[in-house]
Amino acid sequence: MEASVSAAVNVSMLAMSVIFTVLIILIFTIKALVKLIPYEAPPAPPARKVSASSPPEQDDQVAAITASLAAHIGKRPDEFRIVNIQSR
Amino acid sequence: MEASVSAAVNVSMLAMSVIFTVLIILIFTIKALVKLIPYEAPPAPPARKVSASSPPEQDDQVAAITASLAAHIGKRPDEFRIVNIQSR
Amino acid sequence: MEASVSAAVNVSMLAMSVIFTVLIILIFTIKALVKLIPYEAPPAPPARKVSASSPPEQDDQVAAITASLAAHIGKRPDEFRIVNIQSR
Amino acid sequence: MEFSFSSSTQKIVNSTAFTTLESGDALMIGIACLLVYLAIWKKFEPLLLLPMGFGCLLANVPMSMMASTDTGGLLNFFYQGIKHEVLPPIIFMGVGALTDFGPLLANPTVLLLGAAAQIGVYMTLIGAVFLGFNMQEASAIGIIGGADGPTSIFLASKLAPHLLAPIAVAAYSYMSLVPLIQPPIMRLLTTKEERKIKMEQLKPISQTVKIIFPVAVTIVCCLMLPGVTPLLGMFMLGNMFRESGVTARLHETAETHLINIVTIFLALAVGSSMTAESFLRLETLKIIALGLLAFAFATAGGVIFGRIMCKVSGGKVNPLIGSAGVSAVPMAARVSQKVGSEEDSSNFLLMHAMGPNVAGVIGSAVAAGVFLSLFGDVGSSIDTHAALAPVIGNPEAGIQALATVVEVIKQ
Amino acid sequence: MEFSFSSSTQKIVNSTAFTTLESGDALMIGIACLLVYLAIWKKFEPLLLLPMGFGCLLANVPMSMMASTDTGGLLNFFYQGIKHEVLPPIIFMGVGALTDFGPLLANPTVLLLGAAAQIGVYMTLIGAVFLGFNMQEASAIGIIGGADGPTSIFLASKLAPHLLAPIAVAAYSYMSLVPLIQPPIMRLLTTKEERKIKMEQLKPISQTVKIIFPVAVTIVCCLMLPGVTPLLGMFMLGNMFRESGVTARLHETAETHLINIVTIFLALAVGSSMTAESFLRLETLKIIALGLLAFAFATAGGVIFGRIMCKVSGGKVNPLIGSAGVSAVPMAARVSQKVGSEEDSSNFLLMHAMGPNVAGVIGSAVAAGVFLSLFGDVGSSIDTHAALAPVIGNPEAGIQALATVVEVIKQ
Amino acid sequence: MEFSFSSSTQKIVNSTAFTTLESGDALMIGIACLLVYLAIWKKFEPLLLLPMGFGCLLANVPMSMMASTDTGGLLNFFYQGIKHEVLPPIIFMGVGALTDFGPLLANPTVLLLGAAAQIGVYMTLIGAVFLGFNMQEASAIGIIGGADGPTSIFLASKLAPHLLAPIAVAAYSYMSLVPLIQPPIMRLLTTKEERKIKMEQLKPISQTVKIIFPVAVTIVCCLMLPGVTPLLGMFMLGNMFRESGVTARLHETAETHLINIVTIFLALAVGSSMTAESFLRLETLKIIALGLLAFAFATAGGVIFGRIMCKVSGGKVNPLIGSAGVSAVPMAARVSQKVGSEEDSSNFLLMHAMGPNVAGVIGSAVAAGVFLSLFGDVGSSIDTHAALAPVIGNPEAGIQALATVVEVIKQ
Ligand code: NA
Ligand code: NA
Ligand code: NA
């Protein structure tokens, strides 16, 4: 038997110390993080804008849908206008 | 040509015998199984209990929802009580 | 320095020529393809046939459903008849 | 190194595939396009034949390094998964996850139909030997009659890797042609009255039996024919995922994305082995011809044994379900249903045919196991694997024991 | 080669597994069926124990070439993924993608409970040494007390590969038994009043903190214990996929099909190492016994430290959440909830117990890291990998540095 | 072995990464955090840069065995997939499954824009040679201007593996910066009137053409430039899965979980090659600078050729769609749409820009093919693969033929 029980006890004490050391460092890291970056309630979702400045993604969608629609109804894209996309 | 047709016939007869042997053993295995474990119609789904002994999973759900709700409405979990979770 | 700028210029001119060559060949390939196989508007979806010649896939479905139903209501498959499967 | 315009041009021109394109390559590219055409417009097992055709296309571009023999190439990498028999068992796991053994368990005697349909395998074996193939090659060709892609690929990669490509192409093509090949044979070998027989409805099966069944099959079949364990064991594991009711996550993965991923790699790899050198041979034509023989005899075997069962049971078995014993799940079962309903539109054979249909899968796996017991040799497998795991332990004690026994018998 | 009917028959009979089936194989097949039974009917971690049991079944069919030691076989191929430590980290990535560190971040001191529960690891280590295992083996056995499957498999494959099978079986079995093992210990070590303590609701945590946390853990822990980087780093990467909000695709794949695929391969491979030779030993019984010890002491350690925290905090901490520090996510946290609600049905400990629960995962990973720092040796890993990448560079400068230091100390 | 408390402590302290952490490692960890920051908060190609940054973080923990050069380590294992050119083609298959060639087929002349944008590649090549890189390195750097991640990684791993990390980082970073880099160049090189041009609506394309197109591209391009077959062929296969209509299962897997899995492995592997030794060099800064040049010239090339097409077509082509020829799908097409709608909000260029956008992908693949024809050498690939498949056949007949030709020319 290569390993003795006393060695095992030594290793165990050491390892538990290391574990507590590492996790205590982690606790302080988390506490520092939480203090530095406090929780802020997420803002209420903004009301849908009806003005020209719709979000850029919707611009894409309008462009894509317009082009498809144009292809489908056989009109040039500037002969009609999509006013609003309503997601359900 | 290493292999002769007669050898092929030999092998074929042997192989068919083995296949039938194996599958017949399987037939009897299945018959034994089906006889030992007859089909039972699944019981009708039990009516939802309204009493305290709700299933353990729902306990968890109630606990989780209560904790979340508590965090949200800013009350302690014991200041209110979730009575029932209705799945849709 | 193994490579000289003049060699790089040579390689660049050559490579651009190759790229244009390959892509021009591709353009003509596409043009030929589009000419050979013109777009045809997809036919309007055919009205559901009510006659005996329902599509083969539905035959399977009717067979499977009939068999299951037979097992469930305890009748022989020929004692009843599924007339139509309506997908929603 | 000089990079003058003219020398570079020369280099590019010389490196185009046109300079080394031979007529064989061009023909193979045509065959690749044919496979793609059949897959898309004729719906010939498109999940396999489309990537297989495309792999063939890529492999036959000269200097593309995409043939299965191009060490270091992409498709050679996927090909290792066939060579080392990793991919077919994973596909079989997915097939198991997709298979419902309920109809078989409700009427286990139809396993005999799955056995009888294997006659196609052996008629083809004899035919192949007659045409000059050796025993290993003939076995790999014969199993086309098993009508199971992964089983064919698994056996071919073990017994006759040089014939893998034509065998795989034949197996999947004829599988797609089942609705054309089978009906005339079925009508020829049965009477109108037999085709009108209505079968009793199947009795329901306990879920417990469905769970125990894969374990039972594994123990029974693998103990008797250990060589088929990778294939049959994984098949049954997939079915356990399905029936156990406690491994929904694994079941879903096995029957969707895992089988799909492996199918892509396997089909590309098989396609990459379709080079002019290996495919444009007389052997390929022989295999194509033998494959048709295999399917025809398998169908006939199933139907004739169906008639026997019909007689023995006193007319309770419709012989048309016998043809489903070739497997080709679920195509062959649909054919039984269709031919039956032609005589009597109120005759519903589909569920009854599903039993012999899955029995055919087990039957061909067993047939493959018999071949592996007779002709299997793990030498090549160990050689190639040596690269992956240098610390070769004791090479397969069982085989050595077997060799010893054979030695003793010889003396 | 002759293929007379009689010689062929002889060959087939000799190649059946029955001719070489020994009682050990049969017993292992029985154990495989037991595992499958426990997985399906007792719901013992079925995602792992079902394929593990099935892998054991396949591996113990003689001549099936499915044991982890059968070079060239299918399950040997999957086993390479354990041997080279590829599969456990990928599983850990998926676990990270499934883990919510919110409760831990809201109350970070519960990390101490995750540390305290590791006492189970060390009591078991001492016990194992007492029973005659050497230090490496004892470490691998001890980590069963960490109650994390992938961590156990990862450490066992590094420190004691010959004990992998019993360690994995013990780890997953006892994890399933947590609802039986823990409650009596929890009731024994706490008073009725302590069990009734209601904890303050957790405060919400900024998403930014949740995103930074995995990076912080990786830097802090991996710099201190580099050996555990594959495991802990991938765990944290999975969590980044979850919390970052910009990698939804990767998150979904990591927590579903990727972890499922790897689970199938890993469990089959572990099962394939359960051969009679390696499993039917006295050591296995010792490991099973020590595993129970590990879970019991881990639970006790957590609960006792919970009482200390209760005292120190002036009664704000319910000691029942300490037992969740063993990990076994989320089972152990549910046990805390259940035992707590037995005393007072309005006491909701689940969320509070999730903190120590995930802390326990980090704790065992750190414990594994300590073992690797002390006993880790990459020799075998390099040997096997040599086959995959012949151009071996400098074998791990760090370890060499370490070796030098050790040399110096010895002098 | 002694395990006294003090000697063990010493061992642990010595094995922490702190003892060997050098300033380079620390700096690289900082760079890793920067990449993660850019990925999450600046949304720089997060699917790639997040795992890449995390891989860099893990690789730079000393003694973690996670660098791409650590034989036997986890990320070295994934790195083999780049080294042997397996992962980029699989990603390209997924990209093909996500690509709609409809707009390109409706207006095939825009392929010229995809060709013109490659001027960025060559201006960068010349610049790189000017800055002292050799021809292979300069080619790999130049292809950053192709604005295709997998193409860049594929070419870099073949021609200049030591520059893989900075090239990949530059390629993905600038791709994310396309909305910032392109607009000023586009406005500078076009007149207000040109930007207002409205293009005719695209005509619909037969599904049959969409199916035949990938086969046609494969045959035309791969026969002319065989070296690019793994990349372009797999790209077209993915597109076949999409358009054929008969392989929905494979299509879904290729464009979701398979590409996701491979992306995780690829990005981690690229990140793991970002070690202090390989990344903290003057070359990296040069490459970052050249990459910006590449994107700027590619944009300019596309726009200027757009003006030419505008002239030739009699004002029917809006030159703004030229910038989309750099690829960076679909970002660059969106930029065309945005800059166009700034002048006239009723101008819808997005669909028209999708044509040159996907043409740019083909264009860069062709450019990569030209480089491979000129400078490709499979030596290293064969060397490393030798380990995987010992039975090396004839090493790539085509390349040998090429070498012979080169010899002949030299004389
Ligand atoms: Na069959
Ligand atoms: Na733990
Ligand atoms: Na491009």
Q: Is the pLDDT of residue D193 over 80?
A: yes
Does E96 touch chain F if contact means CB atoms closer than 8 Å?
no
Does F378 touch chain E if contact means CB atoms closer than 8 Å?
no
Cα–Cα distance between B46 and D98 in angstroms, integer? Answer: 30
**What is the H or E stretch that residue B86 is in?**
none
Q: Which of D81, E229, D106 is nearest to F62 (CA)?
A: E229
pLDDT at A60: 57
Residue F165's pLDDT band (cuts 50, 70, 90):
very high
Q: Is the pLDDT of residue D175 over 80?
A: yes
Contact between D108 and B26 using a beta-carbon 8 Å cutoff: yes
Q: Extract the runs of DSSP E, i.e. beta strands, from E284-369.
A: none
Q: Which of F334, F391, F302 is nearest to F115 (CA)?
A: F302
Lowest mean pLDDT among D245-259, D396-410, F261-275: D396-410
Residue ranges of domains in chain B: 1-40, 53-83
Q: Is the pLDDT of residue D38 over 60?
A: yes
pLDDT at E361: 95
pLDDT at E377: 60
Rounded to a whole number of angstroms, the distance from the CA of F371 to the nearest CA of chain C is 8
Nearest by CB: F351 against A52, A56, A64: A64
pLDDT digits (tens, 9 = 90+) for D266-311: 999 999 999 998 899 999 999 999 999 999 999 999 999 999 999 9
Residue of F nearest to C6 (CA): F126
Which chains have 3 or more CB–CB distances shorter than 8 Å to chain B? D, E
pLDDT at B14: 93
Structure tokens belonging to residue F409: 């020319």
C-beta of residue F208 within 8 angstroms of C-beta of residue C34: no
Does E89 touch chain F if contact means CB atoms closer than 8 Å?
yes
Task: Give distance in angstroms: CA of F117 to centre of ligand 3.
Answer: 7
- At E3, give phi and psi (nearest 5°): -130, 55
The residue with greater pLDDT, D369 or F4, is D369
**Across chain F, what does the average pLDDT equal?**
89
Does E347 touch chain B if contact means CB atoms closer than 8 Å?
yes
Rounded to the nearest angstrom, the gap between the alpha carbon of residue E41 and the centroid of all alpha carbons in its chain is 23
Q: Is the pLDDT of residue B61 over 60?
A: no
Task: Give distance in angstroms: CA of E152 to centre of ligand 2.
Answer: 10
Cα–Cα distance between F291 and F293 in angstroms, integer? Answer: 5
Chain A residues 21-40 within an 8 A CB cutoff of chain E: 22-27, 29-31, 33-34, 37-40
Cα–Cα distance between D45 and D169 in angstroms, integer? Answer: 11
What's the complex ipTM? 0.86
pLDDT at E380: 35
Does F394 touch chain A if contact means CB atoms closer than 8 Å?
no
pLDDT digits (tens, 9 = 90+) for E40-99: 999 999 999 999 999 999 999 999 999 999 988 999 999 999 999 999 999 999 999 999
- At D130, give phi and psi (nearest 5°): -60, -35
Q: Is the pLDDT of residue F132 over 50?
A: yes
Chosen for mutation from A9, A14, A22 (greatest number of chain E CBs closer than 10 Å) is: A22
Q: Is the pLDDT of residue A43 over 90?
A: no
C-beta of residue D287 within 8 angstroms of C-beta of residue D166: yes
Most confident region among B33-47, E17-31, F86-100 by mean pLDDT: F86-100
Nearest by CB: F223 against D3, D17, D260: D17
Q: Is the pLDDT of residue B58 over 60?
A: no
pLDDT digits (tens, 9 = 90+) for F340-380: 999 999 999 999 999 999 999 999 999 999 999 888 763 33
Q: Is the pLDDT of residue D26 over 90?
A: yes
Rounded to a whole number of angstroms, the distance from the CA of D87 to the nearest CA of chain F is 16
Which residues surround the ion ligand 1 when the cut-off is CB under 5 Å? Answer: D 146-147, 327, 360, 364
Chain F residues near residue D268 by CB distance under 8 angstroms: 237
**Count of alpha carbons within 13 Å of F125, Cβ hemisphere only?**
28
Question: What is the torsional sign of CA B78, B80, B82, B83?
Answer: positive
F2 Ramachandran zone, left/alpha/beta (phi>0; psi -120 to 50)? beta
Cα–Cα distance between F305 and F360 in angstroms, integer? Answer: 13
**Across chain C, what does the average pLDDT equal?**
68
pLDDT at E375: 87
pLDDT at E109: 95
pLDDT at D19: 77
pLDDT at D375: 87
Chain D residues 97-126 within an 8 A CB cutoff of chain B: 104-105, 108-109, 111-112, 114-115, 118-119, 121-123, 125-126
Find the mean pLDDT for residues F394-410: 40
Nearest by CB: C2 against F134, F216, F359: F134
Question: Helix %, strand %, coil % for chain F, to 5?
Answer: 75, 0, 25
pLDDT digits (tens, 9 = 90+) for E146-197: 999 999 999 999 999 999 999 999 999 999 999 999 999 999 999 999 999 9
Chain E residues near residue F72 by CB distance under 8 angstroms: 84, 378, 381-382, 384-385, 396
Cα–Cα distance between E235 and E238 in angstroms, integer? Answer: 5
Find the helix packing angle between E149-159 and E87-98, rounded to 10°.
160
- Whether chains F and A touch (3+ CB pairs under 8 A) is answered by yes
Residue A84's pLDDT band (cuts 50, 70, 90):
very low
Q: Is the pLDDT of residue F411 over 90?
A: no
Q: Give chain B's radius of gyration (CA, Å).
A: 31
Q: Is the pLDDT of residue D339 over 90?
A: yes
Contact between B67 and E1 using a beta-carbon 8 Å cutoff: no
Task: Give distance in angstroms: CA of D291 to centre of ligand 1.
Answer: 13
Chain C residues near residue D337 by CB distance under 8 angstroms: 59-60, 63
Cα–Cα distance between F300 and F290 in angstroms, integer? Answer: 15
Find the mean pLDDT for residues F71-87: 94
The pTM score is 0.88
pLDDT at E394: 32
Does E215 touch chain A if contact means CB atoms closer than 8 Å?
no
pLDDT at F4: 75
Cα–Cα distance between D357 and D359 in angstroms, integer? Answer: 5
Below-70 pLDDT ranges, chain E? 1-3, 377-411
Find the mean pLDDT for residues C45-60: 47
Query: b/e per residue, C61-88, with b = 16+ CB within 10 A?
Result: ebbeebbeebbeeeeebeeeeeeeeeee
Cα–Cα distance between F310 and F126 in angstroms, integer? Answer: 29
Task: Give distance in angstroms: CA of F118 to centre of ligand 1.
Answer: 54
The residue with greater pLDDT, A70 or E39, is E39
Chain D residues near residue C57 by CB distance under 8 angstroms: none
Chain E residues 18-57 within an 8 A CB cutoff of chain D: 18-21, 29, 33, 36, 39-40, 43, 46-47, 50-51, 54, 57
C-beta of residue B56 within 8 angstroms of C-beta of residue E338: yes
